[in-house]
Amino acid sequence: MSDEAKAFRIAHARALARLARRGGASRWNVDQDAIAGAVERGIRSAAVAPDAVSSFIDSLRADELMLAIACRAGNDAAWAYLIENHRPRLYAAARAIAGDDSRGRELADSAWAELYGLDVREGRRRSLLDYFHGRSSILTWMRAVLAQRYVDMLRESARNDPLDAAPEQSAPAGDPHDPDRARYVKMLGEALDAAIAAIDPRDRMRLAYYYRHNLSLKEIGRLTGEHESSVSRKLTRIRDDLKRAVERSLGELGGLSHEQIALCYDYAMGDLPLDLARLLPEAK
């Protein structure tokens, strides 16, 4: 273990211990070094600010992260659990994304192979689970992965088509592969606008302090008269409330399925022009 990794583990020992307890690390024989390494990768991926690390750790899906770590380590019991509890729903999601059983099965089989890891380097099997950091459930994360893999499949197919094989019907500009992409991104943007407009003005200001003005938790606490841990909890609660409101709008009002909502998020990661300066108020 590097000196940097040791320092991280010592500095966040309590939060890492809470994560291990919440996730039932002992069930899968997951050790502290593996947990700390997975959390460090997640923090780098999410670009978490130093003063927000503990709250980030506390926000993780501990049970899902422990399961993923155990599977990466080759724990047979963990793999059996993952297959029994996630594989049927993953195949259903793949069928919904691909539009038919054959392509859906091809898509899901490819994803399972990547989860298990077919490439062995330096004696270690490289798994797609290396990129799962516990910020959502494994199933939600895999839906996004399946959606991206499906887009990649379509792009590869388009490259291999004869040049004179023109499509019978062109897709909307901006995405030659999925005619629903622009609509999904627009729906998500509108749902987010409405959700932010509907929250308590004080919560909207907390979001503005953090996301628009880039204030630290301590700085926000000074402005709101709260301890930084309270600010962190409230920001987590606000984000969770917004996510539920957005998904309720997309599902109940927009008529989208869980798989289609997952596609909204996946497509919006690169397409949604999220203008927080427009959505959030100017600090006074």
Q: What is the pLDDT of residues 124-164, one digit of tens each?
A: 667 889 889 998 888 888 887 887 777 777 666 655 545 44
The domain ranges of the chain are: 3-68, 76-158, 181-279
Checking if the pLDDT of 81 tops 90, the result is yes
pLDDT at 38: 94
Residue 77 has pLDDT above 90, yes or no: yes
Instruction: Give pLDDT, residue 30.
Output: 95
Q: What is the pTM of this model?
A: 0.57
Q: Kindly state the average pLDDT of the residues 23-49.
A: 91
- Residue 126's SS3 state is strand
Residue 250 CB neighbours (<10 A): 23
CA nearest to 237, candidates 203, 210, 265, 211? 203
The pLDDT mean for the chain works out to 79
User: In whole angstroms, what is the distance from residue 282 CA to residue 276 CA?
Assistant: 10
pLDDT for 35: 96
The whole-number pLDDT of residue 267 equals: 64
In angstroms, the Cα distances linking 65 to 34, 118, 213 are: 11, 21, 31
Q: To the nearest whole percent, how much of the chain has pLDDT over 90?
A: 21
Fold matches, 76-158 and 181-279: no
Tens digits of residue pLDDT in 84-101: 998 888 888 888 777 778
pLDDT digits (tens, 9 = 90+) for 102-122: 888 888 888 888 888 766 566
Contact 232, 55 (CB under 8 A): yes
The DSSP symbol for 133 reads -
Residue 69 pLDDT: 95
What residues have CB less than 8 Å from 201, skipping those under 6 apart?
A: 281
How far CA 115 is from CA of 30, 76, 112, 121, 181, in Å, comes to 18, 14, 5, 15, 26
| Per-residue model confidence (pLDDT) at position 205 | 86
Q: Name which residue leads in pLDDT, 20 or 193.
A: 20
Q: Is domain 181-279 classified as CATH 1.10.10?
A: yes
% of the chain at pLDDT higher than 70: 80
Q: What is the band of 17 on the pLDDT scale with cuts at 50, 70, 90?
A: very high
Give the model's pLDDT for residue 263.
75
Higher pLDDT, 196 or 76: 76
Q: Is the pLDDT of residue 12 over 60?
A: yes
Topology of domain 76-158, CATH? Rna Polymerase Sigma Factor; Chain: A (1.10.1740)
Nearest residue to 72 (alpha-carbon basis) of 109, 22, 37 = 37
pLDDT of residue 141: 85
Instruction: Give pLDDT, residue 82.
Output: 92
Residue 259 has pLDDT above 80, yes or no: no
